[in-house]
Structure 1
C-alpha cells in the first residue's frame, strides 16, 4: 500500500508543478507583469532596429542623403500651390490636344511668364530594356529659391506636385541606376 501512496503523491506533485509552470507570466506570486499595470497599452515602447535593415545596404541613408529636399514654409507652400494652379490648366490643354512634346511643355510654361532659367523640361525616360521613351514630358519649375513645381504630361494624366528643392540637384532628380 505504501508504494501506491508514493506513486499517487508523485503524480499529484507532478501535476502541481506542471500547472504552475504553465501559468501565464505575471499570474504567479513574485512574477513581474509583462506590461506594467499602471501604464496604458498605447504607450508601449517598441524597440527600433539599430543595425542595417536586412534588405538595405549598410550606408543606404548616407548614400541617399543627397536626395533630401528642403522643407517649405507655409508661405512658400502657398506660393507653390498658386503657381501649380496656373500651370495645370495649360498642361491639361496640351494633354487634351495630344501634344506630349517636351518643346510644347516648355513653350506653355514660358507663356505663363516663367523665366527660362527657372524651367527644366525633358522627355520621359525609356522603361528598362527599351530604347524608345513613352510619349510625354517631365518638367520642373523652380520658385522662391527653395521650391519646385514638378510633374509630367502623359497621354493618361497630368501630374503637378509642389515640393522643396534639393541642395544637390535642384528640382529634377538626375537619373541613376
Structure 2
C-alpha cells in the first residue's frame, strides 16, 4: 500500500516537472538552466507593455480598408472644391424645399450648373436592410481637378455637401459593400 502512494507521488512530481519545463521560456529548459542570484529585497521588474490596439478595430483594419483612402487635397484644390460646393448647395436646397428628392432631378440640377456629365454621378439612396424600398433621396458626387470630389445627399430632412479627395480604387462614391 505504501508503494502505491510513493508511485502516485512520483508520477505527480514528474508531471509537475514536465509541466513546468514545458511552460518555461525558450532557452531555459534542460541543460540551459542557470542559477539566478537570490536577493532579499524586491526589485522592480521591467515588463514591456503590449501595443494597445485601436478601440474595437481588428489588427489589420487599416490594411483591409486601404482601398477607401482618399487623396489629400492641396490648399488650392480645397479652395476649388469649396467654391464648387458653394455653387451646388443652394441649388440642392431649392430642390429639397420643393420636395423633389428624385435622383434624376438631382442630376439635372448639377448638369444645369454647367458641370459635365462625366464628372457627375447620382444614385438613389440605399435600401436599408429588412426594407423593400429605399428612403426618399439621392446620393451624388461631382469630381473636380482629377483629385477632388464634392459628395453628399439630398433628403427630406437635409442637404449634405462635403469636399473630399477622390479614392484611387473607386473615385468619388464609395461602393456599397454590405
Q: Which residue of 1 aligns with 2:8?
A: none
More divergent stretch after superposition (128-137 vs 111-120):
128-137
Aligned pairs for 1:146-161 (under 5 A) are: 146-161=147-162
> 1:53 & 1:118 partners in 2: Cα distance?
36
Deviation at 1:51, TM superposition (A): 6.2
In the alignment, what sits opposite 1:95? 96
- Alpha-carbon deviation of 1:58? 2.7
Instruction: Provide the secondary structure at the position in 1 that maps to 2:140.
Output: strand
Give the corresponding residue for 2:108: 107
* Partner deviation per Cα, 1:22-72 (whole Å, 9 max, x = no partner): xxxxxxxxx99xxxxxxxxxxxxxx99636557333321111001011110
SS at structure 2 position matched to 1:151: strand
Instruction: Mark the CA change 1:104 to 1:55 in structure 2 (over 3 Å): closer, same or farther.
Output: same
Tell whether 2:121 aligns with 1:120.
Answer: yes
Aligned-residue RMSD, C-alpha: 2.1
* Cα distance between partner residues in 1 of 2:106 and 2:96: 10
Q: Cα deviations across residues 66-122 of structure 1 (Å, max 9, x unaligned)? A: 101111000000000000000001100100000000000000000000000000000
Q: TM-score, normalised by structure 2?
A: 0.70
TM-score, normalised with respect to structure 1: 0.70
User: Which stretches of structure 1, 4 residues or more, deviate above 6 A after TM superposition?
Assistant: none
Superposed, 1:19-34 pairs within 5 Å as: none
Structure 2: gaps (5+ residues): 1-42
Q: Is the alpha carbon distance of 1:53 and 1:120 closer, same or farther for their aligned partners in structure 2, counting shifts above 3 Å?
A: same
Cα distance in 1, alignment partners of residues 161 and 151 from structure 2: 6
Aligned length: 133
**SS state at 2:153 partner:** strand
Alignment of 1:6-155 (within 5 A): 50=51, 52-53=53-54, 55-155=56-156
User: SS of the residue aligned with 1:161?
Assistant: strand
